[in-house]
Amino acid sequence: MTPAAPISPLVQAFFVEHLLRHKRASPQTVSAYRDTFCLLLGFLHATQGLEPTTVCLADLEAPTILLFLEHLEQQRQNSVRSRNARLAALRSFFRFVALRCPEALDLAARVLAIPTKRTERRLVGSLTRAEMDALLASTDPTCWAGRRDHALLLTLYNTGARVSEITALRRSEVSFGASPSLQLHGKGRKERAVPLWTRTARVLTAWFQELGPADGVAFPNTRRGPLTRHGVMYLLAEAVQRARPSCPSLTTKRVSPHVIRHTTAMHLLQAGVDPATIALWLGHESLETTHIYVEADLAMKEQALGKLAPLGPGTRRFKATDALLGFLATL
C-alpha cells in the first residue's frame, strides 16, 4: 500500500485486526481511539476539504498532526493530558502502519517522533468528611431517584470505584452476609473485591429490594437501563448544588466522581491504612500511583514538621573564606 492510497482499509484493519483480535483492547480503549480518528478526520475536512474516504497516508504528515494537536488545545480547549492521549492513539496507529506498509516507514517515523508535552503535576483534589456527609445528606429519600442517588454516592465513597466500574456494576456482583463485599471489574481487566461498610450493605439491601428480584445493573436510570458517565456526573452536580447551602466550602471545589475516588483514598490514608492496602482497594497498577495521596495530605506533613526540632539560636550560616567559593556562592 502506497502513501497515496486511501487510509480506510488501514484504519479498519487497525481496529478490527490489531486492536480487537491481536491486542484484545478494552472497549474503553477502542472508544477513545475511535474518537481520536473522528476528530482527526473532521479536522482534515474542515481545514483541507478532504472527505474521510479520500484521506491518504500522505495527508497525515507530521506537520498536519501537529496542527491537529494544536487545534485540540486552542480551539477545543482540551487539556495537555487530553492532547497527549490523542497523540498516543495516533502513535499506536502509525506503529501498525510501519509494520503493515514498509513503504510508509519514513512517514510513520516522523509522526512517531512527535513528543508528548510535559504536564503540571497538581495535587489531587478531595473532600473533607463534613463535605462528603453533606453530599450524602442532600439526596431526597422520598423519591426513587433520590434513593438511587444516595445508594450510588455512598457506594462510590465506600469503594473508591471508578465511574466506569460503578455504572457497570450488577446486583449479582454484590454479596451480602457476614462479610458484605462487591466485585469490581477495573482498568486493564483487573478484578477486585472491596468490603462494604454495614451502613452501605444496609442501604444497598433496601435499594435492591426496591428494584425487584431480577438481576440487572445496580444503579439504573429512569428507563431501567445502565447509567452513563455523564448521567453520574449530572446527578453528582445536582447533589453538590443542594449541599452548598449547608456546606459553603463546596462552593470553591470542583466535585467529580474521580474526586470522590480521591476522597476515599485520602480518608483511608488519614485513618492509618498503609498505601499498599489502598492501592489494592482502588485497583492501582503500582504503589507510585498511591503515593500522590501522601504528597497531598497536608495534615501528615504538619505532623512530620512537628517532630522536627527547630534550629537553635547558636546556628551559624556558612560564609565562604575563599575567593572562588565566594564567587560560586553568589550564583
Identify whether 242 is a catalytic site residue.
no
* Dist. CA 275–CA 288, nearest whole Å: 9
Rounded to the nearest angstrom, the gap between the alpha carbon of residue 156 and the centroid of all alpha carbons in its chain is: 14
Whether 258 is a known active-site residue: answer yes
Out of 83, 148, 171, 284, pick the active-site residue. 284
CA distance 122 to 198: 35
- How many CB atoms are located within 10 Å of the residue 222 CB? 10
Query: Across-strand partners of 183?
Result: 193
Tell me how far apart the alpha carbons of residues 277 and 269 are, in angstroms, rounded to a whole number.
Answer: 10
- Is 184 in contact with 159 (CB distance < 8 Å)? yes
Decide: 265 and 278 in contact? Cβ < 8 Å.
yes
Q: Taking Cα atoms as reference points, which of 253, 266, 263 lies closest to residue 293?
A: 266
Give the CA distances from residue 15 to residues 8, 28, 53, in Å, rounded to whole numbers and listed in that order. Answer: 11, 13, 16
Contact 131, 247 (CB under 8 A): yes
* Active-site residue, selected from the candidate residues 150, 162, 171, 262: 162
> 71, 83, 148, 261: which one is catalytic?
261
d(CA 58, CA 137): 58
Residue 262 falls in the annotated catalytic set: no
Cell representation of residue 138:
442532600
Q: Catalytic residue at 157?
A: no
Active site residue 284: yes
Task: Give the C-alpha distances (Å, rounded to integers) separating 216 from 174, 229, 298.
Answer: 11, 17, 42
Q: Percent helix, strand, coil in the chain (nearest 5)?
A: 65, 5, 30
Mark whether 185 is an active-site residue.
no
Q: Which of 22, 23, 76, 258 does the annotation list as catalytic?
A: 258
Catalytic residue selected from 21, 117, 187, 301: 187
> What length is written for the chain?
331
Q: Which three cell numbers stand for residue 79?
A: 487539556
Q: Give catalytic residue positions.
A: 162, 187, 258, 261, 284, 293
